[in-house]
Structure 1
């Protein structure tokens, strides 16, 4: 069999691809055809240097902030774009006009959940290779293959792709690489690997059925990165024979620097924009990433003091909605992570539903055109909530002329301190996220809600920052230092050990705890926890899917 693969590569001497994971030989052959490999080689060769440049630009901008002491601000050299009232993004296709409720964190390698999502009444599905997905080779191949099956109406029980919830495909972010493919001596950029395969196999079919190709773009930090994506879209459409503007993309504004460039990001993607999205936890974590070594930007306990009602997050959402609607672009809110209890008509069920409704009403009143939920049972209640408080397919008519957001508003840290509960919660989320990754999963369930890389980012960011600034606990004035965090992590191991039913699962959990401590005790802040894990030999050694790992992970996830 592998002699056949060897023959495929004779024309691609500068490209290497590892053999398929166990059990995925047929899916591998479907994905990696002669045509798709040639396309990937061209795509990556064309844009790899530009990917490196935007990553270097990130380093340069961070160094400037550190050395100068400057704060983020609206750019002077692009003021003409912001002050020009005339330009607009192109209207989105009909299937994107009404997306009140999307399903978020849908890792498509989870075949059964993916099928349930396709059968659901949701307007859209965030088909996720980023925050909610662990990017093992197995998961990437299985996930992309499942999307191909869905687009070709080959998954059991799903409606035709033109009638199913619209697929919003989210490739990995720029910080991720694909270890299993080398192009001209370098590992392939993760987002180009994902985007290239999805477009080659699904782009034309989705377009023919007026159902795409539509994308989410994660962790964009500047209009230069939006410009690069636009160049990739234009090149891809030309190569695949699609009309200009066929691809539409929603940019997730989950970085404090990007907040000051939202108009410019829309401007760069005018022909391909599907709007902007709020991502509260990655956005909050970006403050620690870019400014966290400064005491003025000490972020208090997120479980008690950080939410969309606080000035810096409310200003961010208001500005995003105003910016989008001013340019006729859709503005979407974040994901409800809470899970409804299985027992209906109980106090706990009513309490969780009321909490989700209250938070989503904040977004509806701000003018968003839709938002996401994780729990499929929240789809109908949230659609009813949206429809009962709005009129029409979206809220583009709400221009939010009342909004006046200043840099001070966006950079105003909420008041508050650190609680023992919040510290322990952050440690638990960080450790359990790494444990999930080592188990081949990108998200897990903890205390009634879904946790993914976004919540892991803010959790480990806060622990690192609290140690860095020697924050004191509100409870008893203890200093948050290396010893306290280490002791609390060991306590967590004791609490979780009864849920580990094999020596392998116990060892994996302790490995996860060791890796978490390594991340939060570092002198310098690792920029992304996913990059850190993706480059770590421990994660790479765990990539082969084993059933016992998945079963043990399921047991831990129910905590």
Structure 2
């Protein structure tokens, strides 16, 4: 019964009672009332920035912050306890079994995800908070189906990723307005666990997704200062790693670090979302049409430039430059195929460590040994902050270079269509982390697939066999692929598969693709949780 706060979900649960305490909700409300106007202003600024890009204005390094980039004297905070060595980080949703397995995986850290690998049903969000709370207090052990899950004596260091600034949390309102998904996820975790984490020799550590401007990093920093004062923790206790996974953010890496510098623990190459953002932000540029998703690798021009700039920037400011995700998962029953897949993992990790990355991401515990062995061989110390890479010279045109060798193929269009249908159908059913074709797919890869299909239709792209990709082409393909989705995602409901097929057909007819599929489909999760229609809008 906190003044001005409403919980709109009709499904009462023990998790709600344990997590949504009066104290926690008062904290959520305080954050919302203090920072929501700024969030809305920054989201409106994104729209204005997109209008400028659509009109032909090119992305550049900001003139107003040139002095920050030129000043060699400022540095970020030293690594907090447990973050000195991050050579392998495992990521995944906050489901209880996943939390135990990830913390026991042998990876240095575990990025517990409320964002792209999590379908944000209210139950998933609240149960995830319970699971992290229990893991921190070493109370997460459980048994299911005769199998025991027990936390090891030396688990990975916990880092939490809240949702991005763009997502509302429609099941919780303050003063009749939905709260930010970012604030909701951050607030519950911080309020319940910050002091306990510090007491146990760690701290409240975060990954911050999908920012597009250094002022969005400033907002997070202001929230950290507010939150630490609110619960009585010293300032600079929080640490945050920012995912550079939008094209505009690549032009503001120095500024993002500067805004967070006393709370910063580095930057990460969020490669899949970065490709998605490259297409989306350059939607009005015919020259930015990309080939099949598999051809857009880390070695192509604009991706390589972004990696080199990130490593150089981070090491100049003495923080971690984290590498990207190895999405491969072991292939059982086919040793030859598994060897090929694992060789790709080794090659990817070797590229990262020899470039100068201080660590990398994996999606499956069995990949840890491969990634760890590569970094152990080539990174003898806890990190590579001393590898300054001053020879890496990156200019603005390098970051937007659309020249990518490869072709658009009928197979590529079909695979993208299947990925959108399968992933989104699973997401609507409450699963945000889906194995497809021996890759662990999350919202980012589905987003690439969605905007690529839109891009190919919008610019009447031809496949390598000469077929023009039209709305009719994609409609027919969608109808062909839809019956196959149950084989890819057996748990998916037919109603969800049909809904996503309708959604895709409407997306390719839009003048511009919508900003995020998760925003589009969030109303369906809200409705399933019993939230009335006045609090959300339909995606279709």
Q: Give TM-score scaled by structure 1 length.
A: 0.90
Q: 2:107 aligns with which of 108, 117, 122?
A: 122
2:268 to 277, 285, 300: 277
> Is 1:53 aligned to residue 41 of structure 2?
yes
Measured after TM superposition, the shift of residue 297 of structure 1 is 1.3
**Do 1:20 and 1:28's aligned partners in 2 also have CA atoms closer than 8 Å?**
no
CA distance in 2, matches of 1:280, 1:236: 30
Aligned to 1:468: 458
In structure 2, the residue matched to 1:35 is 23
Contact 1:103 1:125 in 2 (8 A): yes
Number of matched pairs: 521
1:350 aligns with 2:350: no
* Residue of 444, 447, 463 corresponding to 1:454: 444
Q: What do residues 203-223 of structure 1 show as CA deviations (whole Å, max 9, x unaligned)?
A: 111122222200000001111
Q: 1:90 to 1:430 in 2, by over 3 A?
A: same
Matched, 1:134 2:119: yes
Tell me, yes or no, if the aligned pair for 1:170 and 1:215 is still in contact at 8 Å. yes
Alpha-carbon distance in structure 2 between the residues aligned to 1:495 and 1:148: 39
Task: Name 2:479's counterpart in structure 1.
Answer: 490
Q: Residue 432 of structure 1: which of 410, 422, 431 is its match?
A: 422
Q: Does the alignment pair 1:70 with 2:61? A: no
Match of 1:150 among 98, 119, 135: 135
Assess if the C-alpha contact under 8 Å between 2:241 and 2:265 holds in 1: yes
In the alignment, is the contact (CA less than 8 A) between 2:69 and 2:254 conserved in 1? yes
Alignment equivalent of 2:93, drawn from 107, 112, 133: 107
TM-aligned CA distance change 1:330 to 1:501, over 3 Å: closer
Give 1:145 shift: 1.0
Q: Are the equivalent residues in 2 in contact too, given 1:15–1:183 (CA < 8 A)?
A: yes
Partners of 2:416 and 2:466 lie apart in 1 by 18
Q: What is the CA–CA distance in structure 2 between the aligned matches of 1:486 and 1:359, rounded to whole Å? A: 36
- Measured in 1, the distance between the counterparts of 2:457 and 2:270 equals 25
Question: Is 1:260 matched with 2:251?
Answer: yes
Equivalent residue of 1:58, what SS?
helix
Classify 1:226/1:452 alpha carbon distance in 2 versus 1 (closer, same or farther; 3 Å): same
2:266 partner SS: strand
Between 1:289-298 and 1:481-490, the stretch displaced more is 289-298
Q: Pick the aligned partner of 1:83 from 70, 77, 98.
A: 70
TM-score by length of 2: 0.94
Paired with 2:466 and 2:525, the residues of 1 have a C-alpha distance of: 37
User: Which one of 492, 503, 514 corresponds to residue 515 of structure 1?
Assistant: 503
1:48-87 per-position Cα deviation (integer Å, ceiling 9, x unaligned): 11111110111111112223x1110111111000011111
User: What per-residue deviation string (whole Å, max 9, x for no partner) do you get for residues 265-316 of structure 1?
Assistant: 000011000100001111111122211221121122222x210111110110
The 8 Å contact of residues 458 and 508 in structure 2, kept in 1 or not, is answered as no
Tell me the residue number matched to 1:21.
11
Q: In structure 2, do the counterparts of structure 1 residues 111 and 500 end up closer, same or farther at CA, with 3 Å as the change threshold?
A: closer
In the TM superposition, residue 505 of structure 1 has moved relative to its aligned partner by 2.5
Give 1:44's match in structure 2, choosing from 32, 43, 53. 32
Does structure 2 conserve the Cα–Cα contact (< 8 Å) formed by 1:437 and 1:539?
A: no
* Unaligned ranges ≥5, structure 2: 142-149, 531-540
The 1:501/1:366 distance shift into structure 2, 3 A limit, reads: closer
Q: 1:92 to 1:20 in 2, by over 3 A?
A: farther
User: Pick from 505, 513, 518: which aligns with 1:530?
Assistant: 518
Residues in 1 aligned to 2:176 and 2:266: alpha-carbon distance in whole angstroms: 36
1:531: how far off?
Answer: 1.1
RMSD (Å) for aligned C-alpha atoms: 1.6
d(CA) in 1 for partners of 2:385, 2:167? 34
Higher relative contact order (CA 8 A, sep 6+): 2
Q: Which residue of 2 aligns with 1:548?
A: none
CA distance in 2, matches of 1:487, 1:253: 36
Aligned partners of 2:88 and 2:362 also within 8 Å: yes
Written as runs of structure 1 = structure 2, the 5 A alignment for 1:314-463 is: 314-343=304-333, 346-413=335-402, 414-463=404-453
Are the structure 2 counterparts of residues 497 and 182 from structure 1 closer, same or farther at C-alpha, using a change threshold of 3 Å?
Answer: closer
Equivalences for 1:3-14 in 2 at 5 Å? 8-9=1-2, 12=3, 14=4
Is 1:310–2:300 an aligned residue pair? yes
What's the CA shift string for 1:186-211, capped at 9, x where partnerless? Answer: 00110001101111001111122222
Question: Match for residue 180 of structure 1?
Answer: 171
Q: CA–CA distance in 1 between the matches of 2:358 and 2:382?
A: 8
Q: Return the alpha-carbon distance in structure 2 between the equivalents of residues 485 and 418 of structure 1.
A: 14
Do structure 1's residue 159 and structure 2's residue 147 form an aligned pair?
A: no
CA distance in 2, matches of 1:483, 1:198: 47
Corresponding residue to 1:191 among 179, 182, 186: 182
SS in 2 for 1:77: helix
